[in-house]
Amino acid sequence: MQIYVDGVKSYEVAGSSVTKSVSVSAGSHRITVQAVDNAGGIAKATINVTAN
Amino acid sequence: MTSLAMKFYAVAVVFPIIFNPLSSFAVTQVVPTTTLAAQTGNNTSTSPSFGGTTNGNISGKNNISKVSATTLLYPGATTKIYAHLMAWFGGSGHMNVGYASDDPAQVTRQVNDMLSRGLSGAIIDWYGPNNARVNDASLYVKQEAEKHSNFDFAIMEDVGALKPCGATSGCDVTGRMIKDLVYAYNTFEESPAYMRVGTRPVVFFFGVDAYALDWARVRNGVPGNPIFVFRNNSGFTHSQSGGSFSWEGLSSDPNNMGLGYLDSFYSTGNKYPSLQSVGSSYKGFDDSIASWGSNRLLNQQCGQTWLKTMAEAGKYFSTSNQLDSMQLVTWNDYEEGTALETGINNCVSVSASLSGSTLGWTLSGQANTVDHFTIFISLDGVNLMRLATVANSSRALDLSTFSLASGAYKFFVQAVGKPFLTNKMSGAVSYSTSTLPTTTSVSISSPGNNTTVSNTPTVSGKAISSVGNIVDADLCGWCEEL
């Protein structure tokens, strides 16, 4: 799985779950967690956060 | 074994798996290995110009199963299967089937076709050395057989070889037979490709007992100590008999497959274990277009007659009591409607459709005439690649189990017939991976959406996939947010 911050890959790990601290600057950001399965299927979830 | 495991066991995946060096996961690449035309067009030695006949011979435009005919015999059979070959086409005495039997290229096509269907050789309906066309064709069969270590041939002296002598006052018919067999020995039987039992060549006879022949004289007059094989039950007790062959079981009932005739032959043969038993199988019979016909009819029943007559030997023979050989009646007697060269129409059709990512298909007709299904994938609908081979009991294939690159594809389902029966192809089914239903979902448990976080928030997420496997990240260095 991969974690993207504002569209840039920040971290990736094997398996079906991920827990990781990422660094963001102050302000609004889009964080996406993405997974690719072995049938070529791609799934993702995106949240918006504000760092202070 | 679980049902799921059995399902996968029944599917043989045949596509090439390519590992993208930049990335990710095993990707199915479509590398065409055949064409739609090749999989639906004539793949037999039948002339492509042969348009089919009203007595049940299908045209030279069909695609025929090349599953080995030996698969229709009993388990563990070592029985050799021979085609009965007519070599008389190309002249005025027989119908035009689009080829000349004495064309060496045609003989090559026929031998190759026989080999491709799992046959061990051909038994030639022979009219003696004075019938130039048949004899020349027989010489070509000999030459062709000698090119293949797994193909042999034999001659069957037909009563037609004796008729000119028999119609001539004072002609010595037994002497004619001896001359023919001496010629056959010197010309054919010394070939390494000639059919033998042990070291003895095998010679068959068809209908020659129309004449009162002196068989002791024949035996003493021919070299090579050949095994003489006669016809029907009486052939086992015929003078000088080394065995017998069955032919077709015809009756006044066109739906009577003649299994009783075969039963009688096989049970009689079992009483003579030291003699050769040569069984027979056939698709049907209809001599309505033969100049010599008498409207004898045995219906094909869309391949059922063929399948049942092939299977009948299994009632009498086994691994501990092998049937010596089987003769297919016939390879190409088009006029009597017995030609197997064209294949047999199993009257089946297959229709395919897509539901989500599942390719499904339905079959109309008799499912026992289908050996298995082959699934083809194509980028252009013209050039095909075999994607999977599926058991004949299956009617669906989950395409999501194949790692197809994004794009548009066409799929075809081919119902591959039992040996000698027609293959039937579905129409094209279009499929795009962009329409692939979501099989994997991702959720983020923290942080919450639209919340305020520190400069180092901990992101937690997980994926759930019905496919079952999330690609390892270390294989996904190329991944970007998609």
Task: Tell me the pLDDT tens digit for each residue of B295-304.
Answer: 999 999 999 9
Q: Which residues of B touch A42 (CB under 8 A)?
A: 440, 482
Q: By CA distance, what is B466's nearest residue in A?
A: A37
Q: What is the pLDDT of residue B270?
A: 98
Encoded tokens for B175: 């002497």
User: In B346-402, at which residue ranges do the beta strands (DSSP E only) sit?
Assistant: 349-355, 358-364, 370-378, 383-391, 396-398
B396-398 and B358-364 beta bridge pairing: antiparallel
Coil vs helix vs strand at A32: strand
User: Using alpha carbons only, what angle is made at residue B227 by residues B240 and B275, rounded to the nearest 5 degrees?
Assistant: 75
With a CB cutoff of 8 Å and minimum separation 6, the contacts of B102 are: B87, B90, B132, B133, B134, B136, B137, B140
Q: What does DSSP assign to residue B194?
A: B
pTM of the model: 0.80
Q: Sorting pLDDT into bands at 50, 70 and 90, what band is B440? A: confident
Q: By CA distance, what is A16's nearest residue in B?
A: B463
B411 CB burial (10 A radius; 0-12, 13-18, 19+): buried
Domain range list for chain A = 2-14+28-51
Residue whose pair of structure tokens reads 């760092």 in the numeric block: A51
Tell me the pLDDT tens digit for each residue of B345-378: 999 999 999 988 889 999 999 999 999 999 999 9
Q: Which residues of A touch B451 (CB under 8 A)?
A: 49-50
Half-sphere exposure of B118 (CA within 13 A, CB side): 19
Q: What is the pLDDT of residue B478?
A: 44
**Higher pLDDT among residues B14 and B218, named by residue:** B218
Tell me the pLDDT tens digit for each residue of B244-260: 999 999 999 999 999 99
Answer yes or no: are the C-beta atoms of B17 and B27 closer than 8 Å: yes
Q: What is the pLDDT of residue B26?
A: 47
Closest CA to B181 of B144, B208, B151: B208
Separation CA B284–CA B71 (nearest Å): 20
Q: Which residues of B touch A51 (CB under 8 A)?
A: 452-455, 457
Q: Sorting pLDDT into bands at 50, 70 and 90, what band is A14? A: confident
- Residue B429 reports pLDDT greater than 60: yes
Residues forming a β-bridge with A44: A34
Q: By CA distance, what is B480's nearest residue in A?
A: A9
Q: Which residues of A touch B404 (CB under 8 A)?
A: 39-40
Region for residue B90 given its phi and psi (left: phi exceeds 0; alpha: psi -120 to 50; beta: otherwise):
left
CB pairs under 8 A between A and B: 169
CB contact under 8 A, B27 and A36: no
Q: Sorting pLDDT into bands at 50, 70 and 90, what band is B20? A: very low
Over residues B34-41, mean pLDDT: 98
CB contact under 8 A, A43 and B461: no
Mean pLDDT (chain A) is: 84
Over residues B168-191, mean pLDDT: 98
The CA distance from A1 to the nearest CA of chain B, in Å, is 6
Q: Which domains does chain B have, with CATH numbers?
A: 3-38+346-435 (2.60.40.10), 62-336 (3.20.20.80), 442-475 (no CATH)
CB contact under 8 A, B471 and A50: no
Neighbours of B427 (CB within 10 A): 12
Which residue type does B169 have?
A: S
Q: Sorting pLDDT into bands at 50, 70 and 90, what band is B474? A: very low
Share of chain B above pLDDT 70, in %: 89
Coil vs helix vs strand at B29: coil
With a CB cutoff of 8 Å and minimum separation 6, the contacts of B281 are: B72, B306, B309, B310, B312, B326, B327, B328, B329
Neighbours of B210 (CB within 10 A): 11
Would you list the DSSP string of B216-284? Answer: HHHHHHSSS-PEEEEESGGGGGSTTEEEEE------S-TT---HHHHHHHHHHHTT-TTSEEEEEE-S-
The CA distance from B442 to the nearest CA of chain A, in Å, is 5
Q: Which residues of A touch B400 (CB under 8 A)?
A: 39, 41
Residue whose pair of structure tokens reads 């009689």 in the numeric block: B268
- Residue B83 reports pLDDT greater than 80: yes
Q: What is the pLDDT of residue B451?
A: 94
In a mutagenesis test of the A interface, which of B23, B440, B455, B464 is the best target, namely the one with the most A β-carbons within 10 Å?
B440
- Residue A36 reports pLDDT greater than 80: no
Tell me the pLDDT tens digit for each residue of B307-331: 999 999 999 999 999 999 999 999 9
Q: What does DSSP assign to residue B41?
A: S
CA distances from B146 to B114, B192, B194 (A): 14, 7, 9
B96 CB burial (10 A radius; 0-12, 13-18, 19+): middle
Separation CA B482–CA B474 (nearest Å): 18
Answer yes or no: are the C-beta atoms of B266 and B309 closer than 8 Å: no
Q: Which residues of A touch B458 (CB under 8 A)?
A: 19-21
CB contact under 8 A, B451 and A24: no
Q: What is the pLDDT of residue A38?
A: 64
Tell me the pLDDT tens digit for each residue of B91-132: 889 999 999 999 999 999 999 999 999 999 999 999 999 999
Q: What is the pLDDT of residue B476?
A: 45
- Residue B287 reports pLDDT greater than 70: yes
With a CB cutoff of 8 Å and minimum separation 6, the contacts of B129 are: B135, B180, B183, B187
Q: By CA distance, what is B451's nearest residue in A?
A: A49
- Residue B21 reports pLDDT greater than 90: no
Tell me the pLDDT tens digit for each residue of B67-80: 999 999 999 999 99
Q: What is the pLDDT of residue B436?
A: 43
Q: Which residues of B touch A23 (CB under 8 A)?
A: 455-456
Mean pLDDT (chain B) is: 91
Over residues B18-37, mean pLDDT: 66
In a mutagenesis test of the B interface, which of A1, A23, A32, A38 is the best target, namely the one with the most B β-carbons within 10 Å?
A38
